[in-house]
Every structure is written in structure tokens, then in C-alpha cells.
Structure 1
Amino acid sequence: MQHLEREQALAKQFAEILHFTLSFDELKMTNPAIQNDFSYYRRTISRNRLNNQQLEAENEVNNEMANRMSLFYAEATPMLKTLSNATTKFVSENKTLPIEDTTDCLSTMACVCRVMLETPEYRCRFTNTDTMLFCMRVMVGVIILYDHVHPVGAFAKTSKIDMKGCIKVLKEQPSNSVEGLLNALRYTTRHLNDDSTSKQIRALLQ
């Protein structure tokens, strides 16, 4: 019983991480000026240094951190990129752990989220739209991770994720609440444009 409770707690924590990741990236995508603002900040800091005007140490970002921040924000979906890279690295560095252990976990979570969203019996239990958005973000997050980790990705016929069902669930929601999630599937997955991806799935994401 304790083992089951521990697994449930880990799954919930992982879902929270995915929710935060997608939420952060959606905000970044809807605020494109953030890169220009940061560039302006860096220019101001440099100008102040040349004029011997020093900011308080705790308020100044050093050059190394500023460079890393610039590279981070240069990505369309920086948090998702970081999480995808970390997951891919984990799988590649742990050869003794079957890749199916990771992909099965991700596909199961995608399936659970899809079923909860498309089944009226479960969906009626959601007390607010935030819960639905949480499920959609987690579903999209695990799909993208699966697509990065699995050799043939999430869009192939052999995929354990029902991509048609997942995309249809998203497209049934108000466009303003899911456009960022659909864009994440369009632009941050690795295998969408592979020959193994059916034309129907590509059409759904157009």
C-alpha cells in the first residue's frame, strides 16, 4: 500500500512539473518582447559599467548568467526544451533501464489524461476550467517527452499514444485556451514531419 501511495505521489509531482513547464512556456510565447527587454537591460548594465556607475551587487546579473539567460530565452519553449533534454539525457545515461519503462509511463499518463478529458462521466467531475487545463498541459507535456525519448516518436502507427484522440480532445476546447498547446505539438516535437506520421495527423495539427 505504501509503495502504491509513493508512486501516486511521484506521478502527481511529475504532473505538477509538466503543468508548470507548459504554463511557463505559454507565458513566454505570448510575451515575445521579453528578449528585447532583457537585451535592453544588458545594454544598460554595460553602459553603466563604462560610466563607472555600479548597481548594487544583488541587483546585477553577471555576464555568465546573462549569457545563459539569453540562450535560454532564445528557445521558443525554453522550459520544455530543458525538460526534454534532461529526460533524453537520463534515458541515454541509464542503459540498464529499459527505455520501455520510461515510454510506458509517459504513454500511460497521456492515456489517463485523454480519457479524463473525453469521457463525460469523468469530465463532469472537474469543478473548474483550471483542472481541465491542468490535464491538457500534462497530456501535451508527456506526448512531447515521449516523442523525444522514443526512437520512432509519438506520431508513428506503432506509438502507444492515441495521437488522433489526444489532438481531437484539444481541438474541441476553445481555441484561445489550447492554441499554445497545439503550437507546442507543432513546433517542439521531433517526429511530426517524419514519413511515418500519417497525413491525417498532420492535417489535424494544421
Structure 2
Amino acid sequence: MKSPILRTLYISIFSSVLMISCTSDDGPDFDTNTNFLDYLVFYDSDLNSTIITAEFKKTDVFGSNITLEKNESITFRGEELTYDESKVLYSKEYAGLITSGDIVYTSSEGKVYTSSLVEYQSVDFSQAISSFSKSNGLVISWTGEPLVEREFIEFLIGVPEQNNFAGLVLEEEGTADLVLKSEDMAGLTSGTWPAYLQRGQLTYPPDLTSVGGRIVTKYRSKTIEIEVTE
């Protein structure tokens, strides 16, 4: 028969093991996930399609892209996004303009993070532009309201893949037009080039990991052809 002291020791050890087991099952009462959730919603007017993209980065937006673990998943409207090994990201293309739906990330700990899309602004050139002179510059206005907080406008002309292009990005609240000056066009030669506008918005969903995340939405206008002269 065990002594009272030995019996007490056994009970103490058993209780400690039970407490450790319970703590392990329940997990910490705070979020320990350090994956930064970086989502992009991109609508292309030329193709009339929307691409939903999800990137997972270590610690912050500047971190290197990482691959989800086997027991993790990323979906949009209940459909899994496809992994692109060459770009280390997940994406899915949809026909038409997509402005609503939930992006859902399920972590290895079983926690579900749901980020809902918000409606974003369309954009187009407010007037036809057939040609302009580099020496005179170019003033571009667009359809719709001036920029609001966390919005930006982009203009690009030329072909970046050929290292022959010019462009600007503006994000100041209240901006209503874009001025492309002659010095902004140093990398663009004379000729007829494709050009487009993009209006974007940055949002921070409330249901995020411990290091945060964002949704960037972009609406690209129809591409036009503009003749550029010296």
C-alpha cells in the first residue's frame, strides 16, 4: 500500500499533466499567426474579367512570399484559389466585374479569417485623347469623383516590357486630374502607344492575423491608342 506522501505525489503529477494537456488543446488566447494577408482584386475592362489574388508574406507587407501548409486553405466564394508556383501566390479568374464576396483563409491552427470585398470605383478617360506632344505634356481627367482617402489613380502609356513607357501614380485625396509633364516622359519614344487608367483602393479588413493584412482593388479602363510626338 502506497504511503500518503507517495499518493499525493502521484496526484500532483497527474494534475500537472492534465493541465498541460488542456493548455495545449485550447491553445493561446491570442493570435500567434504571423502571415501577412495580401489580397488583390483586379478588374480588366479589355478582358471583362476579374482576378482574385492572395499572397502570404512573413511578418509584414515587405516579407517574402510563403506557401500555405497542407492543412491550410484560401478560398473566394467557397472556391479554392489555384497555386502559382512561379509567383508563389494563389489566384482565380472570373468573368465580368466582381465587387462582392468573401476571401476566406483557414490557418493551420484551424482559425478562419474572413475578408469581405467592398465595392470599388470604375474609371475611364473623360474625353478622347488621340495625340499629344511630349514637349507640351498632357493633362488627363477621368470619369467619376475625385480621389478619396486610401484611393489612388494610375496612368500608363507605352510598353513596360520593352522598357519604353511613361506613367504616374497619384494618391492625394481630392485629386481630380493627372498632369504628365515632359520630364515624366523621358523613357517614352515617339510613336503610337497603348494607354490606360487604373483606379485603386486600399482597405484593411477587421478579421486579420496578428501582423495584419490588406485588400487592394484595381479597376483598369479600356486601353486606347495615343500618338506621341516630340
- TM category, shorter: under 0.3
Say which structure is richer in strand: 2
- TM-score, structure 1 normalization: 0.21
Say which structure is richer in helix: 1
- TM-score, structure 2 normalization: 0.20
